[in-house]
Amino acid sequence: MEQLTLGILMSSNDSANLESRVLASSVIQNLIQNKDYSYVMGASGNGIMRMAQELFAENNINPEIVGLANSADLEKSISIYKVEVESVFERTKRIYEDSDALLFLSGGIGTFSELYAMLDANMEMPSSKPIFIYNADHSYDYFLADFNQKIKSGFADEDTLVNCYIANSEEELLTQLTQYEKTEESKVVR
């Protein structure tokens, strides 16, 4: 299998709580040490997103950074692979298109907006991308409860989450990613 490109979406807010930052840092360090992935993510000089860029830089990994044209965040990005887009919607679309799989770490309104957009994109595409949601800090509990309510009310279909994996621990997340890799390797025609 070719190298997997993992889109990572996360908070760019400096006020993210310490638990969320520590959990996200641990996951990213574990991915760097144990997975031979390439990465794509948004540009931000703040929050968990900035911490992720710093961890990648410390390990000589250059993720593709997608940011708004003429933004200070894109200018300050550590990676040499920078992609300019005109809007947040374009950034979300580009991260989706350039990724084989998507990982959602803790985030706020922007991250949730990206999650809904990518779930919607999966419904429109003939072959959906796996979405991994890291929920160790319970930041996605509201989303899960809300989505279950939408299903009960008839505003969403259970199939929307068919390619969505919820991990409540780092170990569970890494196991899910490994299982996905094995599934993809078995699809390769030899």
Ordered per-residue pLDDT tens for the chain, 190 residues: 578 999 999 988 888 888 998 999 999 999 999 888 999 998 887 889 889 988 998 998 888 888 887 777 777 777 778 888 888 899 999 999 999 999 999 998 899 999 999 999 988 876 789 999 999 999 999 999 999 999 999 998 888 888 899 999 999 999 999 999 888 765 544 3
- The pTM is what? 0.91
Q: Is the dihedral of CA 125, 128, 132, 135 positive or negative?
A: positive
CATH of the domain spanning 5-178: 3.40.50.450
Residue 69 vs residues 82, 87, 113, 155: alpha-carbon distances, Å? 10, 8, 20, 36
**Amino acid symbol at 9:** L
The DSSP output letter for 154 is T
Count CA within 13 A, CB hemisphere, residue 6: 24
